[in-house]
């Protein structure tokens, strides 16, 4: 049995301000309702970049952007509810904000929503629904979702056991992973590969290359 990942996608960094955009100008734009400025200001306060670190102030500005439909801000507000940073910890609220970003196609939110379904946090535990959201994120190149989807196929408890699918998603996860997870994903990929014939491995490797070339990492 290969365990699922523990943890959720962290807060997203928003783009850096333009060089001629002073802090005062950024605040003015944020107060006027500019969602980009609100999201950036929230990120700055959360990470303490250019301002004193302040989770509560971060949540104020992140919420303003999230309420305007800014998907990164919706993800960030959901993470803050999931972790209790700047707002009271509330998994139900986290699910609501993840879902808003997820239906917009935000891969990180889709993965996190799947994780909460798998863990039964804020929603009734539902592995089938978790797989739905993992797949949506995995198809966008989200490495954690690809790994979890591969593990699901390897274990065969939620979907029919399929080592070809496990090897495909494990291979993609290893390709898209950051340095902290690459070895773990590669180890899983190799475990799945041992269940296949050389011909099956070659076919999957070709499919994985096509997928990766069509969706290069951002």
User: By the 8 A CB rule, do 159 and 153 touch?
Assistant: yes
Percent of the chain with pLDDT over 70: 90
Q: Cα–Cα distance between 67 and 64 in angstroms, integer?
A: 5
- Does 50 reside within a domain? no
* pLDDT confidence tier of residue 6, bands split at 50, 70 and 90: very low
- Does 81 reside within a domain? no
- Does 164 reside within a domain? yes
What is the domain range of residue 151? Answer: 141-218
Q: Cα–Cα distance between 21 and 71 in angstroms, integer?
A: 23
- Does 33 reside within a domain? no
- Does 82 reside within a domain? no
Between residues 123 and 15, which one has the greater pLDDT?
Answer: 123
How many structural domains is the chain composed of? 1
Residue 3 has pLDDT above 60, yes or no: no
pLDDT in tens, 46-94: 989 889 999 999 999 999 999 999 999 999 999 999 999 999 999 999 9
pLDDT in tens, 168-196: 999 999 999 999 999 999 999 999 999 99
- Does 145 reside within a domain? yes
- Does 209 reside within a domain? yes
- Does 217 reside within a domain? yes
Closest to 154 measured CA to CA, from 172, 169, 139: 169
């Amino acid at each position: 049995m290969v365990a699922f990942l523990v943890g959720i996608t962290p807060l997203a960094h928003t783009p850096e301000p333009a060089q001629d955009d002073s802090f005062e100008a950024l605040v003015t734009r944020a107060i006027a309702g500019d969602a980009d400025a609100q999201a950036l200001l929230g990120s700055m306060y959360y990470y303490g970049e250019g301002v004193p670190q302040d989770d509560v102030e971060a949540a104020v500005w992140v919420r303003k952007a999230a309420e305007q439909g800014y998907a990164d801000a919706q993800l960030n507000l959901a993470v803050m509810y999931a972790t209790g940073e700047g707002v009271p910890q509330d998994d139900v609220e986290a699910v609501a904000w993840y879902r808003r970003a997820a239906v917009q196609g935000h891969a990180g939110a889709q993965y996190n929503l799947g994780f909460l379904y798998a863990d039964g946090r804020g929603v009734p535990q539902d592995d089938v629904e978790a797989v739905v959201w993992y797949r949506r994120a995995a198809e966008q190149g989200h490495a954690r979702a690809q790994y979890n989807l591969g593990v699901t196929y390897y274990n065969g408890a939620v979907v029919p056991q399929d080592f070809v699918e496990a090897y495909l998603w494990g291979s993609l996860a290893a390709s898209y992973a950051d340095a902290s997870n690459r070895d773990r994903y590669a180890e899983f990929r190799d475990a799945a590969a041992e269940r296949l014939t050389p011909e099956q491995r070659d076919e999957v490797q070709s499919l994985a290359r096509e997928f990766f070339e069509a969706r290069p990492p951002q």
